[in-house]
Structure 1
Amino acid sequence: MDLAEEIHLLSKKFPKEEFYNLTGQSNRSADSIALNIAEGSISQTNPEQHRFLGYAIRSIAELVTCLYKAKRRKYITQEEFDINYKECFDLMNMTIGFKKNMN
């Protein structure tokens, strides 16, 4: 959830013409991470939990792509990219590890 709040603040720096594009996509993918983890946590079956964790992992990958696009378009600095990329990288590794250990 902290990552989504950080992305929300970061995306406010994007130009207005990106509001319905990269800004919205960045926020949706960041929010989707926590929402899918939460939805999977209340599932009664292991396959369903795995499915929602898979959705969360794909949302992290999507957010990383948004960060790369924002950096290439010079909407964020290299430092902002590095900090948020590391957060995504760490969260992805934790989520993958959690998913593997559920068996």
Structure 2
Amino acid sequence: MEQFNFEKLEVYQKTLNFVDLVYEITKSFPREELYGLTSQFRRASISIALNIAEGSGGSKKEFSRYLIIASNSLKECLVCITIAKRQKYIDSDTEKDLRYFLTEISKMISGLRKYLRQ
């Protein structure tokens, strides 16, 4: 099966893995959070992948702009993680795992932005 260029990016693949993890974890969130934190966390995680994909087809400058938007969605995910932990929807180990995942994605996005500036 043919792939688009963005599908070959390691950061894109890692982001999809993060989305899978977010979906799995949010399944255990309280039902009353379905249209609140659960929805927001899922949408923010998806937004990271969507912006990487959408920006990849344009110019270097345009791609860099989309990577900034992806980084902003990543920060949104961090806030969702913090809220989930404070509300006791996730434990410390899960929080640590999610934050580590996002740290890696953030470094990859930063590296890609530096590459694009060259």
Cα offset for 1:57? 0.5
- Please name the residue that 1:24 is paired with: 39
- Provide the rounded CA distance (Å) in 2 between the counterparts of 1:63 and 1:11: 12
Q: Does 1:80 align with 2:94?
A: yes
Correspondences of 1:53-72 after superposition (within 5 Å): 53-72=67-86
TM-score (norm 2): 0.84
Q: Does 1:41 align with 2:32?
A: no
Identity %: 35
Amino acid aligned to 2:48: I
For structure 1, list consecutive stretches of 5 or more residues without a partner in the other structure.
Answer: none
Which aligned segments of 4 or more residues in structure 1 are displaced greater than 2 angstroms?
none
Q: How many residues align?
A: 102
Amino acid aligned to 2:103: F
Offset from partner CA, 1:32-81 (integer Å, 9 cap, x none): 111100111111x2221111101111011100110000000000010011
- Please name the residue that 2:8 is paired with: none
Secondary structure, counterpart of 1:101 in structure 2:
helix
- Provide the rounded CA distance (Å) in 1 between the counterparts of 2:100 and 2:111: 16
- Please name the residue that 1:14 is paired with: 29
For structure 2, list consecutive stretches of 5 or more residues without a partner in the other structure.
Answer: 1-15
Cα offset for 1:97? 1.4
Q: Does 1:101 align with 2:83?
A: no
C-alpha RMSD over aligned residues:
0.7
Amino acid aligned to 2:87: R
- Please name the residue that 2:64 is paired with: 50
- Provide the rounded CA distance (Å) in 2 between the counterparts of 1:94 and 1:32: 16
